[in-house]
Chains A and B, each alone.
Chain A
Amino acid sequence: MLKKILIANRGEIAIRIIRTCKRMGIKTVAVYSEGDSRSLHIREADEKAFLGGSRPEESYLAKEKIIEAARTHMCQAVHPGYGFLSENPEFADMVAQSGLVFIGPPASVIATLGDKMTAKAFVEKLGIPVKPGHKDRISTFTEAAAIAEHIGYPLMLRPARAGGGRGIRVVENSANLRSAVEACQNEARKAFGGDEFFMERYIDRIRHIEIQVLADNYGNVIHLGERECSIQRRYQKIIEETPSTAVDDTLRERMGEMACRLAREAGYRNAGTVEFILDESDGSFYFLEMNTRLQVEHPVTEMVYRLDLVELQLRIASGEKLTIWQKDILRNGWAVEARICAEDPARNFLPVTGMITRYATANIKNVRIDSSIEAGSFVSTHYDSLLAKVIGWGETRKDALESLTQALNAYHIEGLITNVDFVNAVLNHPSFIAGDLSTDFIDEHFEHGRMKLPPPEEWLHYMAIAVTLVYHNRQFLVHESLKPMMAKVGALQQTKDHFTYMVKGDDDFFALRLIKNPVPQSWTVMADGHKYQIVTPEFEFYRRRLKLRIDGKTQFFHMRYRENKIWVAYRGVTRVLGIYSPLEWKLYHYMPRPKVIPPEDVVRCPMPGMVVTILVKTGERIYRGQDLVSIESMKMESFVASPSDGLIEKINVKPGQAVETGDILIQLKTDTVPTEEEVDIFYG
């Protein structure tokens, strides 16, 4: 068995690998960049090695530096994690050349399977179905235009060296081909350093199914069933589960057999994943690609098969034989994973950066959280926006979804915008619950990050009850705090035991009656004629999560308090609710409607200083709160953020230019929809 390994990665995967190593008594060496100098993964590891600057090229992609570090720290092997160098054949080769074990397949196999075109050619020979498309790499528009006629529209452009869905473009008709080719090439050049791409037929409504395989050094290959990863945004997965509602035993066996055949024939070693697309209309499936590494979503397989894939990877890399046979493999229940990312679902999942100022998760049975963050973590632009993975398990799919939902209801993160409530909303969508998935799920059922369907009334009642109880009990506390200042005369009054409140959101309105039960912390609540029995905890008003028992079932909420309004999230539904006394409500309709202020279309300089850099280009789409220009003033560099969503129309300044307070730096072409109050609360 290996004694000490280097983990050539960061974030949650590095921590996850370290955890298994610790259990197995293997020493670990973490590597880190400048920006990661205080990240959690280096504190978890036994040793750490500094690589270089925050840019991946200077650190996590710097092959020589990593190998050098592995040598200096006397490691025997290198675990590449996922992303970065995990599927880089040169790196695998360099690791092997320097006498270290690369925890993954041999470089030659990565080279064959990592390149989509050669991989396709290879699998076709094995009788595995492949989607119609052009076999060769394409590098120019003229070429592409000719080939497009053969394949037919709609078609898809995909960078030759790619991963994680980056650079993929769908083209509906020939008119859009040119711009799509340019965009695909640009992105591919930036991300992977090559501008060649493939073209293939685009299939509508597909399900993404992948098979986990394991192969040892002795030709033994097994598969660990499928994972469905159909829920994607911007062609990247956000929710994964196993088993899949679309796969029955026969299909699982067929796909599994094909995946094993592929691994065996390719001389594959270690853990890998064969991705298929499933056309549910006729049950046909096609090979998509093989990922020659541990997948982000591997925990769902681990929970259902009760195995530690990293442990198996390490054992295989140490030269051990697989000790489990295909027939011994048992499936237990269902597991679903949600990825928590620093991104804004309302703004086309644009990654966001910033410091996490508050972070709290709940300990819930059957829930696993793989995370790399804590209060104080800084999310930068240099790396992936993935912060954590929350995985729920259950005997049935329903149970698994319920545990995961509970965990997400209680998952509170502040300081930057995340997709916590978005993924929760997806999990609670009736179509998702019914197992009716496709890769278009989000476009179909969501708009601007919000569910198109209205949420069930009961959920809204729960939310209204939660905020009202918080509000009421806090008011009560204020009253108590003032007791020493109250008149002593006539102070012995009977206290009321029932209270009426009106709760209002943007489109919802509830009349709530709270009735104090004789038992402490117990309430009967009437909400629009429905009766609920509530047991509250001892209120701790600094907390941002609330656990209530409603009609005997535990429910979690997370919220942000404002004195007059409370933002609350439950099952992915979010609302900003105002709570009013009956008197306030009676007079509420006299209040002037808030003026709709047109979005600001100029970016003004907030202070005198000098322009240092301009972070945007004319025509670029930008969002409210996005930094546009950096200005040096009082010897400090600070950023000027966009006041609205829109496009950059004109940039009036140049770097090095002196600017005064009030100068118009940039002119915007704003979107017509003004941003709502909720956003303010988000940033608050």
Chain B
Amino acid sequence: MKERGTRKDIREKKKKPPSPHEAVQESQRTLKALEDMRNDTMKGGGIELIEEQHRRGKLTARERIELLLDEGSFEEFDLLKTGRGGAFGREQTYPGDGVVTGHGTIDGREVFTFSQDFTVRGGSLGEAHSQKISKVMDHAVRVGAPIIGLNDSGGARIQEGVDALASYGDIFKRNALASGIIPQISCIMGPCAGGAVYSPALTDFIFMVEDTSYMYVTGPNVVETVTHTEITHEDLGGAKIHAEKSGVAHFILPNDIMCLREVRRLINYLPSNNRQRAPILDLSDPVGRTDPALDYLVPENPNQSYDMKVAINSILDGAEFLEVQPHYARNIVCGFGRMGGQTIGLVANQPSVLAGVLDNNASNKAARFVRFCDVFNIPLICLVDVPGFMPGPEQEQGGIIRHGAKLLYAFIEATVPRITVIVRKAYGGAYVVMNSKHIGSDINYAWPTAEIAVLGPKGAAEVIYRKEIQSAADPEKTLSLRTEEYRQTYVNPFLSARRGYIDDVIFPRDTRHRIIRSLQFLEGKKRERPERLHGNIPL
């Protein structure tokens, strides 16, 4: 049956094809429309809000991306994506839905990024916003490239109701599933409150900008309503609090520019994914460089402290060390460096803070760091000077058993090359925990100043010779005599060396060379574990 055309069809059929001139005009209109649309979106929330953002000392979402990535390398996704519009009669949609997403390069290597735009609805997270983030995350996991999130958001977009919550869930799920596959980095560059905090919390490293960023689950208003205490944003969740007290932030930087530079610096230490090795950066620091200063680092008086960072700076290439959580649990030092060009993860007790003791925070800090290194194929170097676990009810009630177990578990689980150097004290359980031979370390060296024993000389003498000391005419003298005897016999690295628990007692000056030689032969280390879904780390 022949269809009858409508009036319009007939009219159009009759219409002449456009002249060449008209065709050009038409296509220019299309280009112009695209251009307008792009320009509109690029402006984000508009000039006024951008100025407001600047006044607060914050850069815009796009400026941040420009700084983060190599010049001109950014490729944007979903520029034109908008939300469906929400309930409560708010049908309006917003350009880009408050987030800029895409990929680009850092020193030539691809990374994915999303940058929340505070000028668009306060960077609030709605469905489209979340979908955009999910899209880059999916890409990042698929191609094995790091993802860097620049967070500056007021939180969930309330108008979108449960959709907004679902959207958070989508991101959390991706964060957790991408964990250990690609490095995930979060920069908090504005507010990050409520449920929103859990996305950064699930990533590997959190950067915070001083004075302009804060993170908390419930804000000062709620705190005041519920507990009747007044508290500022800074005291509740400022960068300083999270860097020093809570340990939530791994790095804090004074401003946006420095923060983004530091991200680039961190990324340069890391592989792009768990199938790669970290890049090799040759600072032409001789592998065989010795440092006589190390021979004298450990003071003759065993009760005196010293700064472990002297040893760290000395053994690493170019004394370059990127410390993770430098202000938190300072009794343990964690961070990245390079040896012979290869990225290594360094875990060291710090005798100048709390005598380098292991406590709850230190155990947590180091355990998480060890697991990161292991999963991204970064060899672990451990410098040990630990008098033991921190005694006292505060620690016991705080769960030192649980927390200490995390570090123990993390080391045992690690299959990357593992090297330990015992610098001085290595007592009791803490000795075992600090990457000892017994828990699977590959190479264990000791300096001649090492003290490896179950407990300190005095304590040991008190236990072993209790009766003798009690019955002695001069208990003090007997104790000191026995203490010295114990020190001579047990408090040195040689007993362990005879057992083979220590592979060699080395000259401190040669530490760098010896570690690098070990790293060289460990390059081919096989890393196999029987199949299982995952272990059950005592969280």
- Residues on A lying within 8 angstroms of B by beta carbon are 38, 355-358, 374-378, 415, 475, 477-479, 481-487, 538-542, 561, 563-564, 580-581, 583-584, 587-588, 590-592, 594-595, 606-607, 632-638
Shortest CB–CB separation between residue B454 and chain A, in angstroms?
Answer: 15
Q: Chain B 431-452 against A: per-residue CB contact (8 Å), 1 yes, 0 no?
A: 0000000000000000000000
* Chain B interface, DSSP helix/strand/loop, else mixed: loop
Task: Let me know if B71 is at the binding interface, CB within 8 A.
Answer: yes
A479-B107, A481-B279, A541-B283 known; A375 vs B293 contact (CB < 8 Å): yes
In the complex the two chains form, what is the Cα distance from A377 to B292 in whole Å?
9
Residue pair B107, A482 in contact (C-beta under 8 Å):
yes
Task: Let me know if B258 is at the binding interface, CB within 8 A.
Answer: yes
Task: Let me know if B496 is at the binding interface, CB within 8 A.
Answer: no
Residue pair B257, A482 in contact (C-beta under 8 Å):
no
Residue pair A634, B354 in contact (C-beta under 8 Å):
yes
Which 4 residue pairs of A and B lie closest in terms of their CB atoms, listed nearest first? A592-B57, A634-B355, A542-B285, A376-B293
- A35 to B, closest residue via Cβ: B300
Residue pair B318, A542 in contact (C-beta under 8 Å):
yes
Residue pair A482, B297 in contact (C-beta under 8 Å):
no
List, in ascending order, chain B residues with CB within 8 A of A561's CB: 318, 320
Residue pair B292, A587 in contact (C-beta under 8 Å):
no
B residues 302-339 with Cβ under 8 Å of A?
Answer: 303-305, 310, 313-314, 317-320, 322
- Residues on B lying within 8 angstroms of A by beta carbon are 54, 57-59, 63, 66-67, 71, 105, 107-110, 211-212, 254-258, 261-262, 265, 268, 271-272, 276, 279-286, 289, 291-297, 301, 303-305, 310, 313-314, 317-320, 322, 341, 351-355, 357, 387, 456
Shortest CB–CB separation between residue A109 and chain B, in angstroms?
Answer: 42
Q: Which of A479, A540, A588 contacts B108 (CB 8 A)?
A: A479
List, in ascending order, chain A residues with CB within 8 A of B313's CB: 357
Residue pair B293, A357 in contact (C-beta under 8 Å):
yes
A357-B314, A633-B354 known; A584 vs B257 contact (CB < 8 Å): yes
Q: Which of A358, A375, A563, A587 contacts B261 (CB 8 A)?
A: A563
Central interface residue in A580, A594, A606, A635, by most chain B CB within 10 Å: A635
Shortest CB–CB separation between residue A416 and chain B, in angstroms?
Answer: 12
- For the complex with contacts A587-B256, A606-B353, 19 further pairs of A-B residues with Cβ separation under 8 Å are A475-B107, A477-B283, A479-B107, A482-B279, A485-B108, A485-B271, A538-B284, A561-B318, A563-B261, A581-B71, A583-B71, A584-B261, A595-B211, A607-B353, A607-B354, A634-B354, A636-B387, A637-B301, A638-B304
Central interface residue in A358, A482, A595, by most chain B CB within 10 Å: A482
A-B contact pairs, 14 of them (CB 8 A): A356-B293, A375-B292, A377-B296, A415-B310, A481-B279, A482-B268, A485-B272, A485-B279, A487-B110, A542-B285, A581-B71, A590-B54, A591-B57, A591-B257
- A486 to B, closest residue via Cβ: B108
Residue pair B283, A542 in contact (C-beta under 8 Å):
yes
Central interface residue in B212, B255, B282, by most chain A CB within 10 Å: B255
Residue pair B355, A636 in contact (C-beta under 8 Å):
yes
Residue pair A478, B268 in contact (C-beta under 8 Å):
yes
- B144 to A, closest residue via Cβ: A485
Residue pair B355, A583 in contact (C-beta under 8 Å):
no
| Total inter-chain residue pairs, C-beta < 8 Å | 146
Residue pair B57, A590 in contact (C-beta under 8 Å):
yes
- B310 to A, closest residue via Cβ: A357
In the complex the two chains form, what is the Cα distance from A563 to B281 in whole Å?
15
In the complex the two chains form, what is the Cα distance from A379 to B233 in whole Å?
46
Residue pair A355, B293 in contact (C-beta under 8 Å):
yes
A479-B108, A482-B268, A636-B351 known; A355 vs B297 contact (CB < 8 Å): yes
In the complex the two chains form, what is the Cα distance from A299 to B354 in whole Å?
48
In the complex the two chains form, what is the Cα distance from A540 to B282 in whole Å?
9
In the complex the two chains form, what is the Cα distance from A486 to B387 in whole Å?
45
Residue pair B355, A355 in contact (C-beta under 8 Å):
no
Central interface residue in A540, A591, A594, A633, by most chain B CB within 10 Å: A591
List, in ascending order, chain B residues with CB within 8 A of A588's CB: 257
A481-B279, A587-B67 known; A638 vs B352 contact (CB < 8 Å): yes
A479-B107, A487-B110 known; A583 vs B67 contact (CB < 8 Å): yes
List, in ascending order, chain A residues with CB within 8 A of B63's CB: 587
Shortest CB–CB separation between residue A415 and chain B, in angstroms?
Answer: 8
- A358 to B, closest residue via Cβ: B293
List, in ascending order, chain A residues with CB within 8 A of B322's CB: 563
List, in ascending order, chain A residues with CB within 8 A of B254's CB: 591, 594
List, in ascending order, chain A residues with CB within 8 A of B295's CB: 376
Q: Which of B255, B280, B305, B456 contacts A638 (CB 8 A)?
A: B305
List, in ascending order, chain B residues with CB within 8 A of A591's CB: 57, 254-257
In the complex the two chains form, what is the Cα distance from A355 to B291 in whole Å?
13
List, in ascending order, chain B residues with CB within 8 A of A376's CB: 291-297
Residue pair B304, A637 in contact (C-beta under 8 Å):
yes
In the complex the two chains form, what is the Cα distance from A351 to B515 in whole Å?
37
- A638 to B, closest residue via Cβ: B305
Residue pair A634, B357 in contact (C-beta under 8 Å):
yes
Residue pair B456, A484 in contact (C-beta under 8 Å):
no
Residue pair B59, A484 in contact (C-beta under 8 Å):
no
Residue pair B303, A635 in contact (C-beta under 8 Å):
yes
List, in ascending order, chain A residues with CB within 8 A of B357's CB: 634
In the complex the two chains form, what is the Cα distance from A632 to B387 in whole Å?
14
Shortest CB–CB separation between residue A162 and chain B, in angstroms?
Answer: 34
A542-B319, A634-B355, A636-B305 known; A482 vs B108 contact (CB < 8 Å): yes
Residue pair B279, A542 in contact (C-beta under 8 Å):
no
Central interface residue in A538, A592, A595, A637, by most chain B CB within 10 Å: A592
Shortest CB–CB separation between residue A567 and chain B, in angstroms?
Answer: 13
List, in ascending order, chain B residues with CB within 8 A of A637's CB: 301, 303-305
Central interface residue in A485, A541, A563, A588, by most chain B CB within 10 Å: A485
In the complex the two chains form, what is the Cα distance from A374 to B258 in whole Å?
36
Q: Which of B284, B291, B314 contacts A539 (CB 8 A)?
A: B284
Residue pair B67, A540 in contact (C-beta under 8 Å):
no
Q: Which of A38, A478, A538 contacts B281 (CB 8 A)?
A: A478
In the complex the two chains form, what is the Cα distance from A606 to B293 in whole Å?
28
A483-B108, A540-B284, A636-B351 known; A590 vs B268 contact (CB < 8 Å): no
List, in ascending order, chain A residues with CB within 8 A of B320's CB: 561, 563
Residue pair B353, A587 in contact (C-beta under 8 Å):
no
List, in ascending order, chain B residues with CB within 8 A of A595's CB: 211
Residue pair B354, A635 in contact (C-beta under 8 Å):
no
In the complex the two chains form, what is the Cα distance from A376 to B318 in whole Å?
18
- B257 to A, closest residue via Cβ: A584
List, in ascending order, chain A residues with CB within 8 A of B257's CB: 580, 584, 587-588, 591
- B70 to A, closest residue via Cβ: A479
A477-B282, A592-B212 known; A486 vs B305 contact (CB < 8 Å): no
Q: Which of A355, A415, A541 contacts B284 (CB 8 A)?
A: A541
List, in ascending order, chain A residues with CB within 8 A of B317's CB: 542
Shortest CB–CB separation between residue A623 and chain B, in angstroms?
Answer: 19
Q: Which of A374, A486, A587 contacts B59 (CB 8 A)?
A: A587
List, in ascending order, chain B residues with CB within 8 A of A355's CB: 293, 296-297, 310
In the complex the two chains form, what is the Cα distance from A403 to B272 in whole Å?
50
In the complex the two chains form, what is the Cα distance from A375 to B286 in whole Å?
17
